[in-house]
Amino acid sequence: MPRVTTTVSTTRCCKKGRRTLPRLPLRAERAWRWLAFALVLAAAALLVAPPVRADTAPAEITALHVERGEEGLLLSSTVRFELPPVVEEALAKGIPMFFVAEATIYRERWYWADKRVASAARHMRLSFQPLTRRWRLQVSSSPIGNSGLVLGQSFDTREEALGAVQRVSRWRIADSSDVDPDVAHQLEFRFRLDVSQLPRPFQIGAVGQSDWNISAGRNQRLVAEAPR
């Protein structure tokens, strides 16, 4: 009788159950966690962000003229500007603000670039003294803090002190001999808040921030009027 070989095979029954999702790689998992964290921070920032305020009006030179006197060429000007809230807050905490007015006179030359014949600078340091509740303005022809003559004046209100910064009267910018009345000249006038003299933390915070940008300028033909 021939031998019969019997093979028995079994099939494992797969029990139907919950499908397990494949696990993300470690790098991808970390990326998703960081994304979720960033979204939470963004939402929190929106909740605590201050309301948007209207931009402060830009500085503007509303008056500028020069007269020829016995002392030389005298410039008078008015610069209109508002103090941004960040500047007002810094002043209220006793942090001084530095402003600079600069005047440059160029002799016109058709055959070459205009020649600078005279220049002058007016440095102003505006500060508030919390103890006395008074305002102090110092004026110098060189950066305040360096050696040189500094004139000081005190004011009872912010408006009075700021008005003294905005208005310049009969400021000597050149000798009469520097400007030939028979030759055309150009006057370049600039006014700005000098953030380079602020304390270092404020300098870093002011970089690229429009709230710290107070500046105005004007170029015009120099017409030295006779003294009135």
Count Cβ atoms below 10 Å from residue 218 Cβ, excluding itself.
Answer: 14
- Give the model confidence (pLDDT) of 186-218 as tens digits: 999 999 999 888 877 665 555 556 678 899 999
d(CA 95, CA 201): 12
pLDDT at position 116 over 90: yes
Mean pLDDT of the chain: 79
Confidence class for position 158, pLDDT limits 50, 70, 90: very high
Q: What is the pLDDT of residue 6?
A: 41
Partnered with residue 134 across adjacent β-strands are 129
- What are the CA-CA distances from residue 132 to residues 1, 8, 154, 192 (Å)? 127, 105, 11, 28
**Residue 25, Cα to own-chain centre: how many angstroms?**
47
d(CA 161, CA 83): 12
pLDDT at position 44 over 50: no
Amino acid at the residue 150: V
Partnered with residue 98 across adjacent β-strands are 125
Q: Give mean pLDDT, residues 93-112.
A: 94
Q: What is the pTM of this model?
A: 0.71
List, in order, residues 6 or more apart from 44 with CB less than 8 Å away.
Answer: none
Phi and psi of 181, rounded to 5°?
Answer: -65, -15
Count Cβ atoms below 10 Å from residue 148 Cβ, excluding itself.
Answer: 11
pLDDT at position 10 over 60: no
Give the sheet arrangement for strand 215-221, strand by strand.
151-155, 134-140, 115-129, 97-107, 185-193, 215-221
pLDDT at position 50 over 50: no
